[in-house]
Structure 1
Amino acid sequence: MDFGPNKRESWKNVLTLAYQSLGVVYGDLSTSPLYVYKSAFAEDIHHSETNEEIYGVLSFVFWTLTLMPLLKYVFIVLKADDNGEGGTFALYSLLCRHARLCSLPNCQLADEELSEYQKDGISSISKSFLGSSLKSTLEKHKLLQRLLLVLALIGTCMVIGDGVLTPAISVFSAVSGFELSMSKEQHRYVEVPAACAILVFLFALQHYGTNRVGFLFAPVVITWLLCISAIGIYNICEWNPHVYQALSPYYMYKFLKKTQKKGWMSLGGILLCITGSEAMFADLGHFSQLSIKVAFTFVVYPSLILAYMGQAAYLSKHHINETDYRIGFYVSVPEKIRWPVLVIAILAAVVGSQSIITGTFSIIKQCSALGCFPKIKIIHTSSKIHGQIYIPQINWTLMLLCLAVTIGFRDTKRMGNASVLAVITVMLVTTCLMSLVIVLCWHKSVLLAVFFLFFFGSIEALYFSASLMKFLEGAWVPIALALIFSVIMYVWHYGTLKKYEFDVQNKVSINWLLALGPTLGIVRVRGIGLIHTELVSGIPAIFSHFVTNLLAFHQVVVFLCIKSVPVPHVSPGERFLVGRVGPKGYRLYRCIARWW
């Protein structure tokens, strides 16, 4: 699909996908104002009459949103797609193809002749000496290749962990608005059942596919963004028109200087303002680069900045008590419209969980294609957008885990601690892999890659250190989930490689098969026999056992190999490679079916 700006129809497609992306990609990021201030002030930080704490949090939020989602993802990371696919494992797949690292055991040079593969413009020679040296080092040392795989698996598993935690915290934060009209005892009995019912409804919708869900959810997100923008503008004009001064980075310094350790630990809560940013990259296969950039730059980003400025303006003039921070977002909403906003917020929270769920589907598909996840049923829900998929087993597994987290934690503080660690770990892994992509795939200067790694890595390391301090207060959950899924993926990948190596070592030569016929008196029976194998050359050992035990095989035998290739689409003329095995009279053939 061509998204060039010179074609009117192309822009129509871009705007349509941008509209859909609001309901799928940005729901989570858009609902972050519900819980950021509440989580940031959970460390017993109370603002003084000078409002340095409020201004400091706003300054941190503004620059975090600007540097991470806008600068890092929109302008840099989104360009590192793997034939249209995004996400942590897409970066690993990209590196595997450019640096000839170990990925699929049965890969062939013929796969690189696919038309879609050639669009990527792979060059096996880096333009710099340091780039060539790095490439050679990675190709020679198996240990480095394994470490790179483990790093990719950690990032991937953290995304899956985020897929469990994000729906829980988004929905739980939204229903906390009931606290305004109920007693604490009543709210406690209503909050968890309401959140669980909403979560079950959300996961039950997934089988309709990204296309339908996107059109269904996009109006909700647009309404929510307009709502928080309008409330933000109202609060700025009504309470503190000079709150824009807090956007200065000087207030970050004053905040940390005054609050010290408590302020540093509160950075985990502030980081929640960018939860869902990784979904922009993970959901890339569902949309396009340009549509995701347009939606974020012109709609999502300005709306969020206005919303956070509005909350800061309100809180800077209302020094009441810590109840403001316990309720968070809803106290800054004018009382006359609180109930309508509560309803919209709950709907937006349901939508907010969509981005990470669809991102999890995409990443699981990539892992399965590269032999790092058990084979599962993948349903393609769109005939036009190749990346729009639905995986039933993963969907219901996420739902069960999400309900367990909701019932187990029962408060946004521990859910936030868990979600933050998952988010920042994924970002750190993405930064490390992107630095390699800059050198090995884009053939840019090593100094540029080092600058990228140091600049973004230092910011993320600061947030990571603050998040890790909350290990016992909920942050252990994503680590436990990542450990479980990492072991499953690594063991499956290891077993896949060992199985293929065994098949290669024990495959039968065609000369052995030709000499076997006259010796045993093998009979050819009518029909066509299909022998499934992972081998792309040679005759599998299982066929020799079949022949020597039954002393018969079909008149026509086809060795069928079904393999995944790392491209978004294989044209009909390139999907099958068919060739003869042995002399013509034996009627033995090999068929390699390539899918994506």
Structure 2
Amino acid sequence: MNPSEQSLEHGISQQNLKRTSCATVLTLAYQSLGVVYGDLSTSPLYVYKTTFSGKLSLKEDDEEIFGVLSFIFWTFTFIALFKYVFIVMSADDNGEGGTFALYSLLCRHAKLSILPNQQPTDENLCAYDASAIEDSEETCQSSFLKLFFKKHPRFQKGLLIFVLLGTCMTIGDGVITPAISVLSAVSGVKVKISQLHDNYVVIISCVLLVGLFSIQHHGTHRVAFMFAPIVAAWLLCISGIGIYNIFHWNPQIFRALSPLYMLRFLKANGIEGWLSLGGVVLSITGVETMYADLGHFSALSIKIAFTCLVYPCLILAYMGEAAFLSKHHYDIQRSFYKAIPEAVFWPVFIVATFAAIVGSQAVISATFSIISQCCALNCFPPVKIVHTSSRIYGQIYVPEINWILMCLCLAVTIGLRDTNVLGHAYGLAITTVMFVTTCLMTLVTVIVWKQGIIKAIMCFILFGTIELLYISASICQVPEGGWVPLVLSGLFMGIMFTWNYGTIKKHQFDVENKVSMNRILSLGPRLGMVRVPGIGLIFSNLVSGVPAIFGHFVTNLPAFHQVLVFVCVKSVQVPYVCEDERLVISRVGPREYAMFHCVVRYGYKDVQQENYNFEINLVSAMIQFVQVEDEDVPQVPTRGLSIDGENLSVDGVGISPHTFNMSHCNVDGHHQESLYKCESLQILKAKESGVTYILGHSYARAKKSSSILKKFAIDVVFAFLSKNCRDPDVVMNLAHTSLLEVGMVYNV
């Protein structure tokens, strides 16, 4: 592998390209074309068609086409270029972007938390304050907003609902984008084969969509090398055709870049002109992907790709199509393909189809990533997450979501059939997501960046006014297709909010019903039962204390493992957690009880470890904890206990998972009396005997005194989701031979 390829892989896997060479940045900029800009670059397929799908029509004086082009140009410039490229992409969460990145920044800096099991020690993570501006002083406005959210928990919940709204609209985008992109591309064949019935176009589109979703489990890394060339070829094709159409049909089209044509357009067409903006906004579909995929590349590489290639190519494409329409008023429904010169039609048609598939793939992958983040933040039922690439970080596949998306996408394609109707649905989804980002950025500007509230409000007014204008136009299209994202977002919102609510209630039950330490001490070191060789890992949601489920074990089981570890796997409000900060070990009860508590911390975009690596790291962390805890052990490398010849040390990083071998463990006889050595040997021997994973199979039930709404949420919706989601052992890839489940009812 040559150095440039190694640098590229390192950049993608580590999400840290601040000091990379120019060659690497340019390479990443090229690679980002296929991943980031597939959706945005295929917008010309349906923008003009959707814009003029209503009562708005072209007139002889070209005022309408000039006005629409002016709106496209300035919307593209203000929203895509100024807002996202120059402002939003500066708000990264340790190199990560997207709605959850903004929300994570706000939660950390304003001390908000949707996760009930947060600890003060989480603030010591190296990534926790990595994006804070150390030199900036706290402003009155930022202090006021922090205090406001702290005093009003309802607004914290409202902020979460607002974020989930944007997230659900993005998931709806994952349903609509493949449908409208593929259907628009395939429908171009009717320009040459006019007798082809629409049913066949729909069937061909459905076949392509089924094929697209069916190969998701293979991952995109096998064909990702083709994505960038396809999108690059597509952009060069449409820009070249655009230049040809400009000079061949109407060189005066450059006049439409004047913002005066927007005012004249609205004045001349009134309410019909305003409603047509629901189609204009489709020109910026996919801009949110630029920000969401920030972690896979870098801000600089994405900015270079957009400003140097994507932006000029798309503007030329829109101008060229407008020039063609100014001379062909009756070809509006097939304007994109009609504007292609005869000699290059079929090559462009083929490239368009591939580009539509690439654009759809980017949105599907983004949906998988969003669902994974929602699961990490307890806002979505557990799903099985498959990592499809061992080299490229973050490429995942979620089987359940993949097939649900496919069914919904096929239903939308077959049910709506028309790209104009799909366009109306698409417009409402993307404008809502953009407005959510604008609102979150306003809060980030004041709370995180500590800028004046006047500056934040000015940006909000500038971008928010534009987006609200488009939202208002899209809402009026609800009867004509805009209801689709509303139904989809409502469905996913209900799932997310109910799951989050039920999870919080279960956690409250765990906290209120913890086993008291007095009861543990009353049982004695053997806990009132036989202690057998091995390590028992009891999973719960508690970051401290003994969970109620342990009482069931003490009451019903005659024997238990010689080493007990209460494990809490939780997410923290940072995208990634360093390996040496992942495990937090504490002791439960006296030393002779051999009971520990382990908190396993993951970021909301982290990859969970394989079981074997987790066991090795856990044993290493426990031995380090015992070593540090024993005040009699000198702060020098220990000679008595060695693992593969490497000495354990207090200030070391622990036993390396790559060199750990239980058969090489030996204890020097001169140190057998040391409590540290004895306990370390006990842990190591227990590991040799095997590790058992003990999970609680819980059932939540609403109390009899609960309201009807709460009973419906817990007993019906939450129970249905719990029954049909993936079991924890499947999510964590636990072997059934080392798994023990115990049922328990939660009365919440």
CA separation in 2, counterparts of 1:435 and 1:535?
A: 35
Q: Is the 8 A contact 1:210 1:286 kept in 2?
A: no
Which of 141, 150, 156 is equivalent to 1:130? 141
Q: Which residue of 1 aligns with 2:342?
A: 335
Verify: 1:429 aligned to 2:436, yes or no. yes
Superposed, 1:211-250 pairs within 5 Å as: 211-250=221-260
Determine helix, strand or coil for the equivalent of 1:42: coil
Deviates more, 1:175-184 or 1:408-417: 175-184
Q: Give the residue type in structure 1 aligned to 2:260.
A: Y
- Using the TM superposition, give the Cα deviation of residue 541 of structure 1 relative to its aligned residue in structure 2, in angstroms: 1.0
Q: Which residue of 1 aligns with 2:357?
A: 350
CA separation in 1, counterparts of 2:355 and 2:142?
A: 45
Superposed, 1:253-264 pairs within 5 Å as: 253-264=263-274
Instruction: Return closer, same or farther for 1:208/1:25 CA change in 2, 3 Å cut-off.
Output: farther
Verify: 1:197 aligned to 2:207, yes or no. yes
Q: Is the 8 A contact 2:104 2:574 kept in 1?
A: no
Q: Give the residue type in structure 2 aligned to 1:4.
A: K
Q: Is the 8 A contact 2:525 2:593 kept in 1?
A: no
- Using the TM superposition, give the Cα deviation of residue 87 of structure 1 relative to its aligned residue in structure 2, in angstroms: 1.8
Q: Which residue of 1 aligns with 2:31?
A: 20
Cα deviation, 1:383-431, whole Å, max 9, x if unaligned, reads 5553332222222211111111000011111100000000111111111
Verify: 1:283 aligned to 2:293, yes or no. yes
Deviates more, 1:539-548 or 1:518-527: 518-527
Q: Is the 8 A contact 1:525 1:552 kept in 2?
A: yes
CA separation in 1, counterparts of 2:314 and 2:169?
A: 25
TM-score norm. by structure 1 comes to: 0.95
Q: Which residue of 1 aligns with 2:524?
A: 517
Verify: 1:300 aligned to 2:310, yes or no. yes
Cα deviation, 1:288-330, whole Å, max 9, x if unaligned, reads 22222111111111000000111111122234x2xx1111201
Instruction: Return closer, same or farther for 1:203/1:287 CA change in 2, 3 Å cut-off.
Output: farther
Which of 394, 404, 421 is equivalent to 1:414? 421
Q: Is the 8 A contact 1:283 1:358 kept in 2?
A: no
Aligned-residue identity in percent = 59
Which of 114, 118, 130 is equivalent to 1:103? 114
Q: Is the 8 A contact 1:285 1:362 kept in 2?
A: no
CA separation in 1, counterparts of 2:113 and 2:223?
A: 37
Instruction: Return closer, same or farther for 1:555/1:182 CA change in 2, 3 Å cut-off.
Output: same
- Using the TM superposition, give the Cα deviation of residue 231 of structure 1 relative to its aligned residue in structure 2, in angstroms: 0.3
Superposed, 1:518-557 pairs within 5 Å as: 521-550=528-557, 552-557=559-564
Q: Is the 8 A contact 1:21 1:295 kept in 2?
A: yes
Instruction: Return closer, same or farther for 1:122/1:395 CA change in 2, 3 Å cut-off.
Output: farther
Q: Which residue of 2 aligns with 1:161?
A: 172
Q: Which residue of 2 aligns with 1:82?
A: 93
Cα deviation, 1:435-493, whole Å, max 9, x if unaligned, reads 11111111111111111111111101111111111111110010000000001000111
Instruction: Return closer, same or farther for 1:216/1:393 CA change in 2, 3 Å cut-off.
Output: farther
Cα deviation, 1:230-284, whole Å, max 9, x if unaligned, reads 0011111112222111100000011111111111110001111011111112222
Q: Which residue of 1 aligns with 2:18?
A: 4
Verify: 1:265 aligned to 2:283, yes or no. no
Verify: 1:499 aligned to 2:509, yes or no. no
CA separation in 2, counterparts of 1:290 and 1:222?
A: 18
Deviates more, 1:142-151 or 1:14-23: 14-23
CA separation in 1, counterparts of 2:508 and 2:334?
A: 58
CA separation in 1, counterparts of 2:362 and 2:140?
A: 40
Q: Is the 8 A contact 1:24 1:213 kept in 2?
A: no
Determine helix, strand or coil for the equivalent of 2:128: helix
Q: Is the 8 A contact 2:376 2:571 kept in 1?
A: yes
Q: Which residue of 1 aligns with 2:601?
A: 594
Q: Which residue of 2 aligns with 1:252?
A: 262
Q: Which residue of 1 aligns with 2:53?
A: 42
Cα deviation, 1:90-111, whole Å, max 9, x if unaligned, reads 2222211111112221122222
Considering only aligned residues, what root-mean-square deviation do their CA atoms show, in Å?
2.0
TM-score norm. by structure 2 comes to: 0.76
More helix by share: 1
CA separation in 1, counterparts of 2:43 and 2:313?
A: 12
CA separation in 1, counterparts of 2:326 and 2:165?
A: 41
Q: Which residue of 2 aligns with 1:569?
A: 576
Instruction: Return closer, same or farther for 1:545/1:330 CA change in 2, 3 Å cut-off.
Output: same
Deviates more, 1:503-512 or 1:299-308: 503-512
Q: Which residue of 1 aligns with 2:496?
A: 489
Determine helix, strand or coil for the equivalent of 1:219: helix
Which of 121, 129, 137 is equivalent to 2:132? 121
CA separation in 2, counterparts of 1:246 and 1:25?
A: 29
Deviates more, 1:308-317 or 1:386-395: 386-395
Verify: 1:379 aligned to 2:386, yes or no. yes
Q: Is the 8 A contact 1:386 1:569 kept in 2?
A: no
Q: Give the residue type in structure 1 aligned to 2:176.
A: L
Q: Is the 8 A contact 1:428 1:457 kept in 2?
A: yes
Larger radius of gyration: 2
CA separation in 2, counterparts of 1:207 and 1:444?
A: 45
Q: Give the residue type in structure 2 aligned to 1:532.
A: F
CA separation in 1, counterparts of 2:601 and 2:508?
A: 21
Verify: 1:311 aligned to 2:321, yes or no. yes
Which of 176, 185, 204 is equivalent to 2:187? 176
- Using the TM superposition, give the Cα deviation of residue 115 of structure 1 relative to its aligned residue in structure 2, in angstroms: 2.3
Deviates more, 1:512-521 or 1:465-474: 512-521
CA separation in 1, counterparts of 2:570 and 2:309?
A: 41
CA separation in 2, counterparts of 1:53 and 1:258?
A: 9
CA separation in 2, counterparts of 1:308 and 1:519?
A: 76
* Unmatched tracts of structure 2, length 5 or more: 1-13, 607-748
Q: Is the 8 A contact 1:378 1:391 kept in 2?
A: yes
Determine helix, strand or coil for the equivalent of 1:539: coil
Instruction: Return closer, same or farther for 1:44/1:541 CA change in 2, 3 Å cut-off.
Output: same
Instruction: Return closer, same or farther for 1:510/1:123 CA change in 2, 3 Å cut-off.
Output: farther
Cα deviation, 1:539-569, whole Å, max 9, x if unaligned, reads 1111122113335432211111112233343
Determine helix, strand or coil for the equivalent of 1:333: coil
Q: Which residue of 2 aligns with 1:465?
A: 472
Q: How many residues align?
A: 589
Q: Is the 8 A contact 2:249 2:323 kept in 1?
A: yes
Cα deviation, 1:212-231, whole Å, max 9, x if unaligned, reads 44322111111100000100
Instruction: Return closer, same or farther for 1:338/1:519 CA change in 2, 3 Å cut-off.
Output: closer
Instruction: Return closer, same or farther for 1:510/1:430 CA change in 2, 3 Å cut-off.
Output: same
CA separation in 2, counterparts of 1:367 and 1:122?
A: 27
Q: Which residue of 2 aligns with 1:188?
A: 198
Q: Which residue of 2 aligns with 1:400?
A: 407
Q: Is the 8 A contact 1:93 1:103 kept in 2?
A: no
Q: Which residue of 2 aligns with 1:71?
A: 82
Determine helix, strand or coil for the equivalent of 1:558: strand
Q: Give the residue type in structure 1 aligned to 2:111.
A: R
> Relative CO higher for 1 or 2, CA cutoff 8 Å, sep ≥ 6?
1
CA separation in 2, counterparts of 1:141 and 1:356?
A: 36
CA separation in 1, counterparts of 2:176 and 2:433?
A: 14
CA separation in 2, counterparts of 1:477 and 1:465?
A: 16
Q: Which residue of 2 aligns with 1:144?
A: 155
Q: Is the 8 A contact 1:165 1:419 kept in 2?
A: yes
Instruction: Return closer, same or farther for 1:368/1:48 CA change in 2, 3 Å cut-off.
Output: same
CA separation in 2, counterparts of 1:219 and 1:513?
A: 64
CA separation in 2, counterparts of 1:488 and 1:366?
A: 15
Q: Is the 8 A contact 1:104 1:371 kept in 2?
A: yes
